[in-house]
């Protein structure tokens, strides 16, 4: 039983299948901002408003505060353990193999489903443009549950991003930085146009569904925390930065700058846009819309600006896909290199990019995006992320006890406040998820444990 919790020792010597170090801190900040500012504010603000009403502003603030605690823990662990794999690797080094498998399995859920969610969100903006310009069939832009056949635009954009990532990490990161600027400009235009129409009357009643998760008359679980648990994934793109540790030129410095810097910038952006949106028109008018910000602009009589925002989303939302597909492929790559997944997946191209696992990951998430609805995908992805955040906060606290004098390029301030706050906040958010999502998550991990004992553990022991 002891080998269930055997710990990984990070090997910093060059390996034959090592990833190329091509990224610096500006690339990482852009990667983080590109991942964080995306579907959460461009699409899921409508879902959140339907669950919390105007108090979705508070939902964003709570989710952002909890993510900030986790981000600080990530920054410390990333600089202590500058290796690919993010929370999976930290758990393997600090807590042992079984916990690492559970977290890695949860990260597969997080990254794969977030990529699918963002692809569906991108399709929500792209489909109206395609329909008006080319008469694109509506049935080919929706999943079967929403009355369509398959979401072709969502599948298409995943394929494009996968090919871009396969071309090379630095090239992908440079294009990502350019597209992030496009996205920030689009949000700035939205605020400039919509904020002058702010009407305090649209904020009343501010909390129509209460604060905790509660079952409403229509059978939907609503409330501030119910919304926070769903839109939570709007903030957590920073953890994709930690997966780039092996591809960062100076990980001891650059990882902390990328994680903390992108998180601070994005919390400010989200709160400003959320306040503008709920103050511009009544929340019921855009709740549940696939393109809520564009809808708000049309309602305010600015159809051309709405087209500009929609076009900008079509151009720039793929930055979120790029960041998360990048992160997912690196998680898969590291688990394969450790023997927990087929080792044949841990191969790199001549440019040092993990092309094989990138394409396999893209194929998986394309199927999910083509056939599953947005709301359910987002909720289940959050469950996996919350598990990873709890693990990273725990790892930070364990290392503070186990190795208090170990070198730490970045030290989390008030670690014994931030760490427990992150753990308890994530657990509360998990309990605020829909019950069906919680059960699906437990079923996912049960299947993962079966796979671990049947396949992964014997092969990992052989390699170890």
pLDDT of residue 147: 73
Q: Is residue 6 part of a domain?
A: no
- Taking residue 416's Cβ as centre, other Cβ atoms within 10 Å add up to 11
Q: Is residue 12 part of a domain?
A: no
Q: Is residue 13 part of a domain?
A: no
pLDDT of residue 354: 74
Give the whole-angstrom CA distance, residue 319 versus residue 367: 20
- Per-position b or e across 25-62, b if 16+ CB within 10 A of its CB: bebbbbbbbbbbbbbbbbbbbbbbbbbbbbbbbbbbbb
Q: Is residue 70 part of a domain?
A: yes
CATH number at residue 124: 1.20.1740.10
Selected residue with higher pLDDT from 448 and 458 = 448
pTM of the model: 0.81
Give the whole-angstrom CA distance, residue 184 versus residue 177: 11
Of all residues in the chain, the percent with pLDDT exceeding 90 is 19
Give the whole-angstrom CA distance, residue 414 versus residue 145: 47
For residues 412-434, give the mean pLDDT: 92
Q: Is residue 5 part of a domain?
A: no
Q: Is residue 37 part of a domain?
A: yes
Taking only the tens place, the pLDDT of each residue in 97-112 is 999 999 999 888 877 8
Taking all residues of the chain, what is their mean pLDDT, rounded to a whole number? 82
Task: Give 384's pLDDT tier (boundaries 50, 70, 90).
Answer: confident
Domain count, the chain: 1
pLDDT of residue 421: 96
Give the whole-angstrom CA distance, residue 389 versus residue 226: 18
Contact between residue 40 and residue 187 where contact means Cβ atoms under 8 Å apart: no
Give the whole-angstrom CA distance, residue 460 versus residue 337: 10
Alpha helices, H only, 281-406: 292-299, 303-316, 318-337, 355-371, 374-402
Selected residue with higher pLDDT from 171 and 139 = 139
Query: Which structural domain range is residue 32 located in?
Result: 20-463
Pairing state between β 214-215 and 221-222 = antiparallel
Q: Is residue 378 part of a domain?
A: yes
Phi-psi region of 301 (alpha: psi -120 to 50; beta: other; left: phi over 0): left
CA atoms within 13 A on the CB side of 295: 20
Q: Is residue 15 part of a domain?
A: no
pLDDT of residue 2: 52
What are the φ/ψ torsions at residue 358 (nearest 5 degrees)? -65, -45
């Amino acid at each position: 039983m002891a080998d269930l919790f055997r710990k990984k020792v990070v090997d910093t010597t060059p390996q034959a299948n090592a990833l190329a170090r091509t990224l610096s801190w500006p690339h990482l900040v852009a990667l983080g901002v590109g991942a964080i500012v995306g579907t959460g504010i461009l699409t899921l603000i409508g879902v959140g408003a339907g669950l919390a009403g105007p108090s979705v502003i508070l939902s964003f603030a709570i989710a952002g505060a909890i993510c900030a605690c986790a981000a600080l823990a990530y920054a410390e662990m990333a600089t202590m353990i500058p290796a690919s794999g993010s929370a999976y690797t930290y758990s393997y080094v600090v807590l042992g193999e079984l916990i690492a498998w559970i977290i890695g399995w949860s990260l597969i859920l997080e990254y794969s489903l977030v990529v699918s969610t963002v692809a569906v969100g991108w399709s929500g903006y792209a489909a109206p443009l395609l329909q008006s310009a080319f008469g694109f069939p509506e049935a080919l832009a929706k999943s079967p549950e929403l009355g369509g056949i398959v979401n072709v635009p969502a599948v298409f954009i995943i394929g494009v991003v996968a090919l871009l990532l396969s071309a090379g990490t630095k090239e992908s990161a440079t294009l990502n930085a350019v597209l992030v600027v496009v996205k920030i400009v689009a949000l700035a235009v939205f605020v400039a146009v919509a904020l002058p129409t702010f009407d305090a009357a649209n904020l009343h009643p501010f909390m129509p569904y209460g604060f905790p998760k509660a079952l409403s008359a229509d059978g939907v679980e609503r409330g501030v925390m119910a919304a926070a648990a769903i839109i939570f994934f709007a903030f957590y793109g920073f953890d994709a930065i930690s997966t780039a540790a092996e591809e960062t030129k100076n990980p001891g410095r650059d990882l902390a700058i990328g994680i903390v810097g992108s998180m601070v910038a994005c919390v400010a952006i989200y709160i400003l846009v959320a306040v503008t949106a709920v103050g511009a028109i009544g929340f019921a008018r855009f709740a549940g819309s696939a393109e809520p910000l564009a809808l708000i602009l049309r309602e305010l009589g600015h159809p051309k600006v709405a087209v500009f925002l929609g076009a900008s989303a079509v151009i720039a939302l793929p930055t979120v896909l790029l960041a998360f597909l990048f992160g997912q492929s690196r998680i898969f790559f590291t688990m394969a290199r450790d023997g927990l997944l087929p080792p044949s997946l841990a191969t790199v191209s001549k440019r040092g990019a993990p092309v094989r696992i990138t394409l396999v990951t893209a194929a998986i998430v394309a199927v999910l995006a083509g056939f599953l609805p947005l709301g359910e995908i987002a909720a289940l992805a959050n469950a996996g992320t919350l598990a990873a955040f709890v693990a990273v906060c725990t790892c930070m606290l364990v290392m503070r006890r186990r190795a208090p004098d170990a070198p730490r390029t970045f030290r989390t301030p008030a670690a014994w406040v931030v760490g427990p706050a992150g753990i308890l906040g994530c657990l509360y958010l998990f309990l605020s998820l829909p019950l069906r999502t919680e059960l699906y998550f437990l079923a996912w991990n049960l299947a993962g444990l079966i796979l671990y004992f049947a396949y992964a553990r014997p092969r990992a022991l052989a390699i170890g």
